[in-house]
Amino acid sequence: MKKGDGKRLEFQSIKGFKDILPGESIIWQELATEVRKKFSTFGFKEIKTPILERTELFSRGIGQETDIVSKEMYSFKDSKGRGLTLRPEATASVVRAYIQNRLYQAFPVQKLYNIGPMFRHERPQKGRFRQFHQIDAELFGDSGPKSDAEIILMAVSLLEDLPLGELALHVNSLGCPECRPAYKEMLKDYLRDKTDTLCVECTKRLDTNPLRILDCKIETCKEVVTDAPIIDRFLCRECNEHFHRLQEYLNGYGVPYILNPKLVRGLDYYNRTTFEIQTGLLGAQNAVAGGGRYDGLVKLLGGPDHAAIGFAIGMERIIALMEMNRKFEEKKPDLFIAALGDAADRASFVWAGKLRESGFWVELDYGLHGLKSQMKKAGRLQAGKVLIVGDEEMESGKGILRDMAVKNQIELDLENIVSVLEGILKNG
């Protein structure tokens, strides 16, 4: 990109990292407001964790063989040689905070959410960034299917309220450490003689993470797994009952879902329920939210043996859908005070301050420009009304209030101008 004078800009944002500009920030604020409102009705409280953590937290938590850990993390050594990483997701950090602060001691069930930036060194494309933002929710201390249903319902009902166009909820069960190994072996056996049709990545995954092959987006791999064995036949009795009960809760509330036995997700910590919410409107990056149960992670990271389930929503993707489905109006100033001359300039500074204390958006001219220039500025800002006060008006005690939409003007007494304006501005 070039500057107006044709010179190359010396500094530009890094590839995959983007600015959120003032015009967009209202949508971000609205989304955060909706999240806070919705999540509080489910009893979730906000937690804020650092963006930087020890690398090992993620490599152990998410899994060494996952794409995130093996190739997407922003990791570096600090001056003491300790490995640090910009968080690629929030779950491991929230689990660390849960353990470190013994949050389970206060309440056996903890419901936490976090909104903030995450970092993954992926190839940037539509809907995929290197710095992106997640709304992340985690529920600790319950292993039953009712918390699965509740967390799924919370994600679905937030997204439905926004609204974002048609979304599809996919659910699956990945079983547990008891029943999944047999399925993994069966899948490996099925895939072993088909390696020449698998992509390079999936050929490697056959030994390290065969379940991920089910989820590969490459056409040839998709074809290979069409007839692959699916996990539901391998689920043990407990996993089966858990999954059926979850479906009963979802059916009972009327939450539509698709049973997708190929939904495996890209992080190693999941067991039993996994889910993803997908859109057809964003091309290849179709997942707007993903999550699942991760009953072993708290223990794996050094905490008590507490079950957990959670999800994360990709905010950039949600915002792209919000923009497609609705027009967002930026707020405009309630009043511009066009002051002409020294006395009016000083008085208008006080009036503006008082009106702002009452919650109105008031703008002033920072210089001492003429009326024409100030009216032009008020027009550019799209101020609803303009109060015009010059030295003459200060002397006569009467100002002029111009309504910029209807284009009429009235005379106002300057004596109690703040309360008079409050009354007028309140009524729009």
Residues in binding contact with ligand HAM, number by CB under 6 A: 25
Give me 88's structure tokens: 């690629």
- The minimum distance between CB 86 and ligand HAM, in angstroms, equals 13
CB closer to ligand HAM, 63 vs 384: 63
Could you say whether residue 289 binds ligand HAM (CB under 6 A)? yes
Contact status, residue 229 vs residue 235, Cβ threshold 8 Å: no
Rounded to the nearest angstrom, the gap between the alpha carbon of residue 299 and the centroid of all alpha carbons in its chain is 27
Could you say whether residue 148 binds ligand HAM (CB under 6 A)? no
CB closer to ligand HAM, 66 vs 374: 66
Whole-angstrom distance, CA of residue 160 vs CA of residue 103: 31
Binding-site member from 61, 310, 384, 399 for ligand HAM (CB under 6 A): 310
Contact status, residue 149 vs residue 209, Cβ threshold 8 Å: no
Stretch that binds ligand HAM, among 7-15, 124-132, 246-254, 332-340 (CB under 6 A): 124-132
Stretch that binds ligand HAM, among 53-61, 314-322, 359-367, 389-397 (CB under 6 A): 314-322
Could you say whether residue 67 binds ligand HAM (CB under 6 A)? no
Binding-site member from 59, 66, 85, 91 for ligand HAM (CB under 6 A): 91
Give me 299's structure tokens: 């223990």
Could you say whether residue 114 binds ligand HAM (CB under 6 A)? no
Whole-angstrom distance, CA of residue 365 vs CA of residue 373: 9
DSSP-assigned letters across all residues of 347-376: HHHHHHHHHHHTT--EEE-SS---HHHHHH
For 66-72, the CB contacts below 8 A with 24+ separation are 66/209, 66/266, 66/267, 66/268, 67/266, 68/120, 68/266, 68/267, 71/121, 72/120, 72/121, 72/122
CB closer to ligand HAM, 287 vs 337: 287
- The minimum distance between CB 316 and ligand HAM, in angstroms, equals 5
Residue sitting closest to ligand HAM (CB): 314
Q: Is 212 helix (H, G, I), strand (E, B) or coil?
A: helix
Could you say whether residue 307 binds ligand HAM (CB under 6 A)? no
Residue 418 to residues 50, 399, 421: CA-CA distances in angstroms?
Answer: 45, 12, 5
Could you say whether residue 314 binds ligand HAM (CB under 6 A)? yes
Question: What value, to the nearest 5°, has the Cα angle with vertex 251 and ends 246 and 256?
Answer: 105
CB closer to ligand HAM, 125 vs 373: 125
Stretch that binds ligand HAM, among 156-164, 249-257, 282-290, 415-423 (CB under 6 A): 282-290
CB closer to ligand HAM, 90 vs 231: 90
Stretch that binds ligand HAM, among 35-43, 197-205, 242-250, 289-297 (CB under 6 A): 289-297
- The minimum distance between CB 289 and ligand HAM, in angstroms, equals 5
Question: Where are any strands of DSSP class E within 238-296?
Answer: 258-259, 271-279, 287-293
CB closer to ligand HAM, 277 vs 364: 277
Could you say whether residue 266 binds ligand HAM (CB under 6 A)? yes
Residue 428 to residues 352, 421, 423: CA-CA distances in angstroms?
Answer: 17, 11, 9
Nearest Cα residue to 138 out of 206, 91, 185: 91
Could you say whether residue 98 binds ligand HAM (CB under 6 A)? no
Write out the residues near ligand HAM by the rule CB under 6 A: 89, 91, 120, 122, 128-129, 132, 134, 136, 138, 266-267, 287-292, 294, 310-312, 314, 316-317
